[in-house]
A and B are shown apart, each in its own frame.
Chain A
């Protein structure tokens, strides 16, 4: 059953009125509104967007000495209780589906890199395209920016390869953008303080792109199969930029799109990896993601916090439960908390506090989505938001009973507020369900996937 969505007034005039008639020259992202035809008739009434929120090094699950998981909620399908790691989601229970029992399979299941490779691809060794890239080029292909990959200190220490969870193609990851001010400028066409922006004012930009496209098409034609996927990707990128320049991008019905802003005061290239700035950076990236989507500029995004085996010194985050300026406690360090759930051990205590914090940042994301009206509900109603990490229990590096959470109503395809047990099923089935909710009815996703998770979608 699809939801009927209210059609907001999309004329340029009403938009300008809404933002208070600022600036004579229209912001670049407004090109997205030009020549717009309502395209929600094209959407099958399902989820309009996917946001993946990743945090590293797993959660406190079952202990090595046999205590049960302290991550899983307890109780029946509805009316369940959340444990301390998930406490920040207590106000959000009705908006989240809590999933138990999903496995990523046994191959390489003792390792972080192995998990990071499988996480969004569903394939051992990362030999596949990740779900975000797949959806970006299918369900999300019409958006001006098909894919947003924003990181919080995810490129530190020359990170590369399987430290990044988004796979363009088998074995090929791409790094996220760690600098929100730079990503902001790219997406909105001007700096966060409002300066910059503006194109050539005439058709020069378009002519330049045409010349480049000419060269690329010639090369592509000449080479046939050689380097085909590389050039296809380049061509896709050029076409995406071409559409933005020529104002040709059609869009799904946007939610509220205020004057976008992010707070990056005091952060620049020089201190971009100071751990004390992490909370602020993550907040800026989250705000950027939500606002870009609110303006209909993208439909698929991944927020990557740090990377697996993270050296991120979380005890330096000011204003958080785990803050301790006198002692360095890193994410990966805390994850190896020992064989038992022993709160007298610093690692275990801090590990719980760290996970609570990541979950609270996920809650902030949900809050931002819920605060923006869309259709006859909110952005959250039309979204699928996935919380994930590359292992389940961080101490044992298990790939079973993975800590996936799904939030949002997916445009009516998801009924949240439930605790569901999918013991024995592969997580590729979850990725498959997500694809279905975005209108891509694939038969499965990744290895060992037999279809969508039964009972998850309507």
Chain B
């Protein structure tokens, strides 16, 4: 049978068998202690398989048949030698990637004859992560202080809707002229045109109006100036008539309080901004946290009566100080304060010249405390070297995972009541959190980071070639991806495949123009169908992605190909060898594809580049800012590609496609892509890259639950919170 059929039937068998195994034992509960994956031969070999497919198959073939590396199907030199070679020298160029238990596991799989085995995962077979203090990321910090200090973070200004019912009159045009567009007499001069909707017999326009106090009129046929009949607010226009009045208050330009904080560091293979290990507090951080906390404290004590719940005059000061420290401190530390902490901060408060100054100093100090800056995932000892997160830690873990922000009162109350210690109560809270709009923002952020599409904000583009690629466009592209992801997850099918196959996106007029989509007006993003003609579908058609993985003046099939491999398939390719050689002579008249011919013509380069270029070329219809094009340098574009070895590198499987939409389809139904999505979500939750061997059982269980749910994104998020991995550390 074909490899693909074999692979799937094995997976199906494995799934059925392990389900059977799980069913045979008692139902898994979170209270059980973890032991890590079992050490029987079948599991070790399965771990070896996972590692082999991750690190070795690209050179040695998915069944050890060889490729750029020698074949391994008939190893005669004994296990010890094999283990030693792997440990010291493999994978080639990066032997540090396979150390510890890895060489033995891989050798075991190789020597078994590349036999697929089923790991005997039980309910305790997960490997808890290390006890950690997780520094708040900039995004989390922003969200946390907004909630804590009760003010709204910067919000985009809302759009305003204008409408006009013409009654019996037939009009050619209706436009808005006002203080925001220089009282433009005509549409050509900058008036904002309304569009006629015949079915409703109504002229309408939805438009983002900047913050401020505005006056305007509607202009009919560019001759009749009238006040807006739908707007009761008017004021004299100075000429004996009236203007309509529109006051927009929004703080879209409010200062970002985290602007001073250093960028969130992350290792190369971790896409998100919340890594639990490498994000550490350096002296630069300390100083900037200090300044930020000071500024926030100053700002929030502007209205002291609102902040302090008691009378602090004279003799009442000590009692009020204690109350403030306890209450505000609890909200800041996300748990009740310990006695020594209350003493410390009370002394700080009362030691200042006035109570107000004391409150200011206390807030500044609390916001610099490690108990605020770090989320605790330390847990309390629960036997055999394992620690279990306490209810307050679970509350924070839930809210920061699903909202990117602090726990609300309901979560804290659940923690205070001693709940959040079992799967049922955790799941209940998780589902409640997913009903809240904050989870939409979190899924949006997850998606942007997962894809690395946040780079569109700072990616340099040639102003001569792309004069229309303004900051406003970059912002719109970012917002498009965010809106789309949240819509798919919460409003539409909720399924993973829709992310890659959707025949629509969220566009405004500028984006529609770049994408070649007609019928979109206004600055506000709204759902718009592609109409199936551009070959564009889902995330792979987003400007945020296409522009992030291009150069300033040309596309980059290399970067786009690597993007698909790394971010969507969790596949890694070896580094180029030394003296890989330069690129061939650049012919400015050739298409990008032709210029990269050397990669395919030279068999030495092609051994790796076939996995990269063949994917990247398929996106060539979209230029360096994601705009549609049919020709490059006057030549027709060949946008065919091959999503080869999609499931395992080194399997020599071809999967040709001829449009980006087709590529999206192939990825949407790929087991590897689905498994990779699970891995990425696990990374996002935990804050570090998974280990395919140590986490084999955890990943298998999550992938099963994802599949059972019909690949629903929110169900995967729930599964992550009820995985024992969420609750235990060591």
Mark A residues whose CB is within 8 Å of B: 64, 106-111, 113-114, 124-125, 127, 145-147, 149, 155-158, 160-162, 164, 168, 171-175, 177, 182, 186, 202, 204, 207-209, 211-212, 214-216, 218-219, 223, 226-227, 230-231, 233-234, 236-238, 240-241, 269-270, 273-275, 311, 313, 325-326, 328, 330, 333, 336-339, 345-347, 395-399
Nearest to B290 among chain A residues (CB) is A241
Set B132, B287, B348, B460: member contacting A241, Cβ < 8 A: B287
**Chain A neighbourhood of B131, CB < 8 A:** 226-227
Asked whether A223 and B585 contact (CB < 8 A) given A157-B459, A204-B361, A237-B286, the answer is no
Nearest to A207 among chain B residues (CB) is B348
A240 CA to B290 CA, complexed, in Å:
13
Q: Are B371 and A175 in contact (CB under 8 A)?
A: no
Give the shortest distance, in Å, between A347 (CB) and chain B (any CB). Answer: 7
Set B277, B281, B585: member contacting A345, Cβ < 8 A: B585
**Chain A neighbourhood of B259, CB < 8 A:** 269
Asked whether A397 and B263 contact (CB < 8 A) given A234-B281, A273-B460, A311-B460, the answer is no
Nearest to A220 among chain B residues (CB) is B370
Interface size class of B (residues with CB under 8 A): 35 or more
Q: Are A160 and B263 in contact (CB under 8 A)?
A: yes
A111 CA to B608 CA, complexed, in Å:
14
Set B268, B344, B578: member contacting A211, Cβ < 8 A: B344
Q: Are B265 and A175 in contact (CB under 8 A)?
A: yes
**Chain A neighbourhood of B268, CB < 8 A:** 113, 160-162
Instruction: Tally the A-B contacts, defined by beta carbons under 8 Å.
Output: 201
A398 CA to B580 CA, complexed, in Å:
10
A349 CA to B31 CA, complexed, in Å:
67
**Chain A neighbourhood of B223, CB < 8 A:** none
- Beyond A127-B96, A174-B284, A241-B286: 7 further Cβ-contacts under 8 Å? A107-B95, A110-B579, A161-B270, A186-B287, A241-B287, A396-B580, A396-B581
**Chain A neighbourhood of B77, CB < 8 A:** none
Q: Are B286 and A223 in contact (CB under 8 A)?
A: no
A106 CA to B313 CA, complexed, in Å:
72
Q: Are A158 and B458 in contact (CB under 8 A)?
A: yes
Q: Are A177 and B262 in contact (CB under 8 A)?
A: yes
Q: Are B345 and A157 in contact (CB under 8 A)?
A: no
**Chain B neighbourhood of A226, CB < 8 A:** 131, 378
Q: Are A204 and B370 in contact (CB under 8 A)?
A: no
Asked whether A161 and B283 contact (CB < 8 A) given A204-B357, A338-B584, the answer is no
A214 CA to B338 CA, complexed, in Å:
13
Q: Are B280 and A168 in contact (CB under 8 A)?
A: yes
Q: Are B287 and A212 in contact (CB under 8 A)?
A: no
A395 CA to B578 CA, complexed, in Å:
10
Q: Are A233 and B281 in contact (CB under 8 A)?
A: yes
Nearest to A187 among chain B residues (CB) is B287
Nearest to A63 among chain B residues (CB) is B582
Q: Are A145 and B283 in contact (CB under 8 A)?
A: yes
**Chain B neighbourhood of A395, CB < 8 A:** 581-582
**Chain B neighbourhood of A311, CB < 8 A:** 459-460, 551-552
Give the shortest distance, in Å, between A341 (CB) and chain B (any CB). Answer: 11
A223 CA to B729 CA, complexed, in Å:
14
Asked whether A207 and B286 contact (CB < 8 A) given A110-B575, A174-B280, A336-B582, the answer is no
Set B133, B454, B586: member contacting A231, Cβ < 8 A: B133
**Chain B neighbourhood of A146, CB < 8 A:** 283
Give the shortest distance, in Å, between B728 (CB) and chain A (any CB). Answer: 15
Give the shortest distance, in Å, between B127 (CB) and chain A (any CB). Answer: 17
**Chain A neighbourhood of B278, CB < 8 A:** 171-173
**Chain A neighbourhood of B280, CB < 8 A:** 168, 172, 174, 230, 233-234
Nearest to B581 among chain A residues (CB) is A64
Give the shortest distance, in Å, between A357 (CB) and chain B (any CB). Answer: 18
Q: Are A347 and B586 in contact (CB under 8 A)?
A: yes
Q: Are A397 and B580 in contact (CB under 8 A)?
A: yes
Set A125, A173, A212, A238: member contacting B94, Cβ < 8 A: A125
